Amino acid sequence: MLKIAITGPESTGKSTLAAQLAHHYQAPWVPEYARTYLEQLGRPYEASDLEQIALGQQALWVAQSAENPAILLLDTELLVLKIWSEHAYGSCAPSIQVGLRQQEVDLYLLLNVDLPWEPDPQREHPHLRQYFYDWYKRELEELGAPYAEISGSAEERVQNAIQAIDRIIQR
């Protein structure tokens, strides 16, 4: 199974791209668990909530992986939670750090901040997008993770992502 993680700062089109790639490859995609969790929380989130979000995200991955698809698309992943936690609280739970190192992702698609910001009640940092993009890139490099930077218009992003995934498939 080829695991493709779509990652990057807020409002960079991760969920949209995941759905488009799922359609293109006729593959399942694991949605972002944090969105559902936060909508149902009924209070401001806390550091411990990020661990619960990680568990929920991983449970969704396991459920989709059990069907053994050829390609599995992950709409966000634990790197998002690590950066979110470190930015908001100055630290990250060991369980998230360990989970990140064990994700076994074949390719990360790092989405650039060149799309316009779209307001959303769950988004917090419209003026820090480049800062976060640089942070994601640095973390991926420190992990030694394979990644492709995805930029351009919505249509160009789909084509760039397909090209990056197809290069992995053809190996």
The pTM score is: 0.93
Structure letter (DSSP) for residue 76 = S
pLDDT at 124: 64
Which domain, by its residues, includes 163? 2-169
Categorize the per-residue pLDDT at 121 as very low, low, confident or very high, splitting at 50, 70 and 90.
low
Check pLDDT > 80 for residue 125.
Answer: no
| pLDDT tens track for 27-62 | 999 999 998 999 899 898 899 999 999 999 999 999
pLDDT at 56: 96
Name 57's Cβ contacts closer than 8 Å, sequence gap at least 6.
Answer: 30, 32, 33, 34, 76, 77, 78, 81
The whole-chain average pLDDT of the chain stands at: 92
Domains contained in the chain, number: 1
Check pLDDT > 90 for residue 126.
Answer: no
- Phi, psi for residue 112 in degrees, rounded to 5: -75, 165
pLDDT at 14: 92
Tokens of 155: 């249509």
Q: Select the more confidently predicted residue: 123 or 144.
A: 144
Name 140's Cβ contacts closer than 8 Å, sequence gap at least 6.
Answer: 7, 79, 108, 110, 147
Amino acid at 13: G
* CATH number for position 75: 3.40.50.300
Check pLDDT > 70 for residue 108.
Answer: yes
Most confident of 8-12, 102-106, 113-117, 159-163: 159-163
- C-beta of residue 113 within 8 angstroms of C-beta of residue 129: yes
Name 127's Cβ contacts closer than 8 Å, sequence gap at least 6.
Answer: none
CA distance 10 to 8: 7
| pLDDT tens track for 47-101 | 999 999 999 999 999 999 999 999 999 998 999 999 999 999 999 999 999 999 9
Categorize the per-residue pLDDT at 22 as very low, low, confident or very high, splitting at 50, 70 and 90.
very high
